[in-house]
Amino acid sequence: MLKTPDIAQTIDDINAQFGPGSPSPDFFDHDPMVLDFSRLELQGIDLKLTKLLVTLEACRLKPIAFRNATPTTAAAALGCGLIEAPADLPRGKPLNQKKNSEKPAPETVREVVREVVREVPGAATLVIDKPLRSGQKVYARGADLVVLAMVNMGAEVVADGNIHVYAPLRGKAMAGASGNTQARIFSLCLEPELISIAGVYRTSENPLPNDIHGKPAQVRLSNDGQDKLLFEALNP
């Protein structure tokens, strides 16, 4: 989701975090993505769209579609080979909203329920029980990450879900890497170089409060739409 019409700055930020010369050049694995323009009131970025797409592909991302664009931006995106995605996915009618004459037989209901239950996967978790040294990186793709030993400075832990570190966290930790804004980070000793949830990050250049730094704490995103990291002490 683009949040600013300043595409040059957006390109610089993306390259700094995920570009070929960044600390995480292999963070993505040619993942497909949709560009969402709904946050931009005055878009006017059609002339710079090609540069943005080139940057995303250099960061191992694959832009395939767009949505919520103005007609001008939509025309530019279509010209770049993207397809237009719907603003919201259509939802099917619940069974209980059908007319009485259309009620399925009990056998059909049981079959539908059985299919739904079978398709719901269990939560995945990756467990690391050894210390992570500087230069090491662990990515729990589509899963939570549990680390039972120290994450040293220069090490990096990344998860699409939550991150639990039952030891000092002194390196970089990025939860909700695929955009999960409900993800959280937990540590028994929070001293990170960088902390991030769903792309919202804070570095050690902005020191943590004394009641959080080096203490058991959790990190989450605010639920007020302001994309703000909240740091909360975990009281014994």
- Is 80 domain-assigned? yes
Q: Which of 20, 54, 84 lies at the terminal end of a domain, its last residue?
A: 84
Note if the pTM is more than 0.75: no
> Same domain for 78 and 148?
no
C-alpha span between 41 and 229 (Å, rounded): 25
φ/ψ (deg, to 5) at 195: -130, 140
Query: How many domains are there within the chain?
Result: 2
Q: Has residue 90 been placed in a domain? A: no
Low-confidence spans in the chain with pLDDT less than 70: 40-47, 88-123, 236
pLDDT of residue 120: 42
- 1 lies in some domain: no
Measured on CA atoms in the order 26, 131, 129, 158, is the torsion positive or negative? Answer: negative
CB atoms within 10 A of CB 205: 7
Q: Residue 209 sits in a domain of what CATH number?
A: 2.160.20.70
Domain boundary among 84, 100, 116: 84
The domain containing residue 186 runs over which residues?
Answer: 125-233
**What is the reported pLDDT for 92?**
44
Are 224 and 133 contained in the same domain? yes
62 and 137 fall within a common domain: no
Q: Which pair of tokens denotes residue 180?
A: 């999960």
Identify the pLDDT of residue 110: 44
117 within a domain of the structure (yes/no): no
The dihedral of CA 224, 15, 59, 64: what is its sign? positive
Residue 114, domain member (yes or no): no
Query: 187 and 130, same structural domain?
Result: yes
User: Looking at 67, 84, 101, which one is the last position of a domain?
Assistant: 84
DSSP annotation string for 13-81: HHHHHHSTTSS-TTS-SSEEEEEE-TT-SS---GGGHHHHHHHHHHTTEEEEEEES--HHHHHHHHHTT
Place of tokens 């939550």: 162
* 158-175 burial: b if 16+ Cβ within 10 Å, else e: bbbbbbbbbebbbbbbbb
Burial class (CB in 10 A: 0-12, 13-18, 19+), 45: buried
> What is the token pair recorded at 3?
């949040």
Same domain for 136 and 213, yes or no, is yes
Whether residues 64 and 145 share a domain: the answer is: no
pLDDT given at position 101 = 45
Give me the pLDDT at residue 37, please: 82
**Is there a domain that residue 66 lies in?**
yes
